């Protein structure tokens, strides 16, 4: 699948509207496979209808790439069958972990160490071998960096190189981290390898205080994040970009306005080419 344009994260509350509305500004949808994989019946039928109408990609929640627990091989095999059934060729996951002797129900930061980078890259390569397709990893928002020996940027670059995987560039996460950990968001984005970027995310966040932002996906995207997205296009070429909205969900018409903003910024930066 060759992604282009702007996409929207699919929540179940939006499914009926997306199936009954003539939508030409949403070029692809993203789903968490965990939210659809276990179900048959009416939900499976609805998901099939969605995949027949829109290009669909998957963004996982529970692969737990940095976990000390063994990789859940049976889960990866189930994903592989799900992807083949629904013709899904792009699968992304978080550069984090969410299990350790049990499920943690949160995305925890992997220690920024050389040993952790090597370990995580090996897990990514294992997943890619099992799936027989590339895995795309997302830079996460984080609020603590236990055992830190290198910067977030150095760690991310090391994992990308060792794993030979793709990158999902979450622009809002870069912005949130740059405020919380006081680094230069533009320098972070500029240093990323253009050839690794498969697509991007953009979302809203909550300002707890001037120096503490919480990545919520529950509000509108703010102007500095839109500006950072434009900067990313200028550095790497225009890449497909998806709007995430996970709660405080407005009507589809309101979400489409933000999707149209993505398209407008992409159009304004076409002269910088397409990310390859």
For the chain, report the end-to-end CA distance as a whole number of angstroms.
14
Give backbone dihedrals phi and psi of 67, rounded to 5 degrees, phi first.
Answer: -70, 145
**Residues 61, 94: Cα–Cα separation, whole Å:** 7
Parallel, antiparallel, or unpaired for β 6-9 and 91-94?
unpaired
Please report the pLDDT score of residue 136 as a whole number: 98
pLDDT per position as a tens digit, 183-234: 999 999 999 999 999 999 999 999 999 999 999 999 999 999 999 999 999 9
Tokens of 193: 């390898």
The CATH classification of domain 6-272, taken from the options 1.10.260.40, 1.10.580.10, 3.20.20.150, 3.40.470.10: 3.20.20.150
Give the predicted TM-score (pTM) of the model. Answer: 0.95
251-263: pLDDT as tens digits: 999 999 999 999 9
- pLDDT surpasses 70 at 102: no
Q: Is 138 helix (H, G, I), strand (E, B) or coil?
A: strand
pLDDT at 119: 97
Tell me the per-residue pLDDT of 118-130, one tens digit each, with 9 for 90 and over. Answer: 999 999 999 999 9
The full set of domain ranges for the chain reads: 6-272
């Amino acid at each position: 699948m060759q992604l282009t344009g702007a996409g929207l994260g699919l929540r179940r509350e939006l499914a009926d509207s997306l199936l009954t509305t003539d939508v030409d500004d949403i070029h692809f949808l993203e789903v968490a496979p965990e939210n659809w994989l276990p179900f048959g019946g009416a939900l499976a039928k609805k998901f099939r209808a969605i995949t027949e109408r829109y290009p669909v990609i998957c963004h996982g929640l529970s692969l737990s790439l940095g976990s000390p627990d063994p990789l859940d091989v049976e889960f990866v095999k189930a994903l592989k069958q799900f992807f083949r059934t629904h013709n899904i060729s792009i699968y992304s996951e978080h550069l984090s972990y969410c299990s350790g002797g049990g499920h943690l129900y949160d995305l925890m930061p992997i220690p920024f160490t050389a040993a952790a980078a090597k370990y995580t890259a090996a897990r990514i390569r294992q997943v890619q071998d099992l799936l027989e397709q590339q895995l795309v990893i997302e830079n996460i928002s984080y609020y603590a960096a236990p055992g830190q020996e290198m910067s977030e940027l150095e760690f991310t670059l090391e994992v990308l190189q060792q794993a030979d995987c793709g990158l999902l560039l979450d622009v809002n996460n870069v912005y949130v981290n740059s405020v919380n950990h006081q680094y230069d968001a533009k320098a972070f984005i500029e240093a990323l390898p253009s050839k690794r970027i498969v697509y991007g995310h953009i979302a809203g966040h909550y300002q707890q205080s001037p120096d503490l932002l919480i990545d919520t996906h529950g509000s509108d995207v703010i102007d500095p994040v839109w500006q950072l997205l434009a900067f990313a296009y200028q550095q790497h070429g225009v890449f497909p970009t998806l709007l995430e909205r996970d709660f405080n969900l407005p009507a589809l018409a309101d979400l489409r306005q933000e999707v149209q903003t993505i398209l407008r910024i992409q159009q304004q930066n076409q002269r910088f080419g397409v990310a390859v």
